[in-house]
Amino acid sequence: MNDRFQPIFEPFVLPCGVELKNRISMAPMTISAANADGSVSDDDLSYYSRRSRGVGMVITASTTVSAQGGFPGSAAADRDEMIPGLARLASTIKEHGAEAILQIVHGGRQCPASNGDVVSASAVPMEKEGAVVPRELREEEIVEIIRTFGEATRRAIEAGFDGVEIHGANGFLIQQFFSPHSNRRKDRWGGTLEKRMAFPLAVVDEVHRVVRQYAKEPFIIGYRLSPEEAETPGITMADTLPFAEALAAKPLDYLHISLNDFWSVPRRGIDDDRPRIQIIHERVGHLVPVMGVGAIRTAQDAVRALQTGIPLIALGRELIMEPDWIEKIADGREDEIKTTIAKDDQARLAIPDSLWRMIAGVPGWFPVE
């Protein structure tokens, strides 16, 4: 191995005491390959098996906490019948030496109308053509959804996962409660910035309560957030920095900043032209480890990102194109890393049909040869 890439391979101990063997995690990526009932499929297992060698953690694609909050093809952790399949997935990831993290989510207003009842913090639709106007959740429903995040965590523990990542990013329900675009409530769940934080923080508290009750070994709790929104009104960095501080005061093991580009800078809210992730890290990195993601392709890219002081890096599309990313760097073959995908690569890369169709159907999402 080239010595300049050694920072990638340095172990890292999370606050809960779990040691990661290196600084690279597999980012959660939608693959929509689960069985029709939400159970883990053989395609899921093949896909994750191919990518669990080398990385320190594998964070699964979003797994729904309730039937109301899911998507076609997504795995589910909404009932105990899902535990055996989830256990197969956890075992598949762990047998290759990675920590297995189940990402848990409720889609809120992003869910399809076929779910029967599209809900959100308020009756405000997404800003896109044909968007459904969601129904505003009632108080008792909010409390129940918080409970479902805890129940999904219990199932993850029973299935043998090493942790969960709370999906508070990408416009899903938790973010909908934090966003001034989607949350127009005037009760304890909305209005001021502090009240818009109430639902996300309550989910974190419930997940932590369940971990204390059920986990017999150290169990990782991560939280993923998107630092800004394009909508007006929408989340700005002026909102996100105090929110990150509130999250950092909780017993989290990492804060995963969801970005398309690690080096992207603030849109609005603060006068600072540094990368958003560096600003967040400066504010809370001494309290909670920060994980960065976005447009990191090569070993050189990863080292440059780590040199900012951000301790953890996640790779998404890159590990789809190059599952052997870590091994090639370790073997001194970093020049052989693939940063494009070929039209005949599906079988070699164990990419499910569902994901392959998405890659082909979204021009520019992947660099296709």
User: 288-302, pLDDT tens digit by residue?
Assistant: 999 999 999 999 999
Please check whether residue 86 is in contact with residue 77, taking contact to mean a CB–CB distance below 8 angstroms. yes
In the prediction, which pLDDT does 114 show? 86
What's the token pair of residue 360? 């082909």
User: 19-61, pLDDT tens digit by residue?
Assistant: 999 999 999 999 999 999 999 999 999 999 999 999 999 999 9
Cα distance between the two ends of the chain: 28
The amino acid present at 157, given as its one-letter code, is I
**Global confidence as pTM:** 0.98
Domains (range + CATH), the chain: 3-361 (3.20.20.70)
* Dihedral sign (CA 187, 190, 191, 193): positive
The amino acid present at 235, given as its one-letter code, is I
Confidence of residue 120 (pLDDT cuts 50, 70, 90): very high
User: 241-282, pLDDT tens digit by residue?
Assistant: 999 999 999 999 999 999 999 999 999 999 999 999 999 999
Q: What would the mean pLDDT of 321-337 be, rounded to a whole number?
A: 97
Distance CA(325)–CA(329), nearest Å, equals 7
As a whole number, the mean pLDDT across the chain is: 97
H-only helix segments in the chain: 42-51, 83-94, 139-159, 173-178, 193-196, 198-214, 237-248, 276-284, 299-306, 317-321, 325-330, 353-361
Please classify residue 307 by burial: count the beta carbons closer than 10 Å to its beta carbon, then call 0-12 exposed, 13-18 middle and 19+ buried. Answer: exposed
Q: What is the DSSP letter of 171?
A: T
In the prediction, which pLDDT does 34 show? 98
In the prediction, which pLDDT does 1 show? 85
Q: What percentage of the chain carries pLDDT values higher than 70?
A: 100
User: 69-119, pLDDT tens digit by residue?
Assistant: 999 999 999 999 999 999 999 999 999 999 999 999 999 999 999 888 999
DSSP characters over 77-124: -SSGGGHHHHHHHHHHHHTTTPEEEEEEE--GGGS-GGGS--EESSS-
What's the token pair of residue 148? 């479902």
In the prediction, which pLDDT does 171 show? 98
Confidence of residue 354 (pLDDT cuts 50, 70, 90): very high
Residue 220 has pLDDT above 90, yes or no: yes
Residue 338 has pLDDT above 90, yes or no: yes
Counting every residue written for the chain, the total comes to 369
In the prediction, which pLDDT does 195 show? 98
Distance CA(26)–CA(145), nearest Å, equals 27
